[in-house]
């Protein structure tokens, strides 16, 4: 079972495959530690809304920086005042703890 300490204080570990994706029980437990992220089709996702394009792009750039630092990258759909973030660990075609770590860190960015 995955350690339940504060996800935002953890760092991603390299995942090149060869390990199973998280179980539904682990996913459900980790989702409880996030703010309004949803599980669907082996991914977790969340929509973020902003006042304007500038705030949206500032957030997208901060997510890009964080993703580079953690070496774990989401799919993003960006519009004028919104951004959808989608995580899945492609190497295992499912979710890993890395997805939840980055989601928690992104929630922290959004609060700034």
Q: What per-residue confidence (pLDDT) applies to 17?
A: 75
Q: What per-residue confidence (pLDDT) applies to 16?
A: 75
pTM score, whole prediction: 0.89
Q: What per-residue confidence (pLDDT) applies to 1?
A: 38
For residues 20-47, average pLDDT: 96
Q: Give the fold, CATH level 3, of 39-112.
A: Gyrase A; domain 2 (3.30.1360)
The partner residues of 84 in beta bridges, in order of sequence, read: 47, 77
Per-chain mean pLDDT for the chain: 91
pLDDT (tens digit, 9 = 90+) per residue, 56-87?
A: 999 999 999 999 999 999 999 999 999 999 99
Domain regions of the chain by residue span = 39-112
Q: What is the 3-state secondary structure (H, E, C) of the chain?
A: CCCCCCHHHCCCCCCCCCCCCCCHHHHHHHHCCCCCCEEECCEEEEEEECCCHHHHHHHHHHHHHHHHHHCCCCEEEEECCEEEEEECEHHHCECCHHHHHHHHHHHHHHHC
């Amino acid at each position: 079972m995955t350690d339940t300490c504060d996800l935002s204080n953890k760092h991603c570990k390299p995942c090149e495959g060869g390990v199973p994706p998280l179980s539904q029980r682990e996913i459900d437990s980790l989702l409880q530690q996030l703010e309004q992220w949803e599980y669907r089709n082996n991914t977790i996702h969340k929509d973020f809304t902003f006042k304007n394009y500038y705030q949206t792009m500032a957030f997208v750039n901060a997510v890009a920086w964080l993703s580079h630092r953690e070496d774990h990258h989401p799919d993003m759909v960006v519009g004028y005042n919104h951004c959808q973030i989608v995580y899945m660990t492609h190497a295992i075609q499912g979710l890993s703890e890395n997805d939840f770590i980055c989601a928690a860190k992104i929630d922290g960015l959004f609060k700034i």
